[in-house]
Amino acid sequence: MPAEESAESGSIASRLNHLFATVHPADRAPYTNPEVAQAINEKAGHQVLGPTYLWQLRKGKRTDPTHSRLTAIADFFGVSPLYFYEEETAQRTNEQLRLAGALRNASIRQMALDADGLSERSMTAIAAMIQSARAMEGLPDSGAAPE
Q: Could you tell me the residue ranges of all domains in the chain?
A: 3-102, 106-136
Q: What is the mean pLDDT of the chain?
A: 89
pTM for the whole structure: 0.75
Q: Which of 41-45, 50-54, 118-122, 137-141 is predicted with the least confidence, judged by mean pLDDT?
A: 137-141
Res. 90: pLDDT tops 70:
yes
Domain 3-102 has CATH 1.10.260.40: yes
Q: What is the structure's pLDDT at 104? A: 84
Q: Which amino acid is at 62?
A: R
- Any residues with CB less than 8 A from the CB of 124 and at least 6 apart, and which? 146
For residue 97, give the nearest of 43, 27, 4, 16 by alpha carbon: 16
For residue 96, give the nearest of 78, 109, 115 by alpha carbon: 78
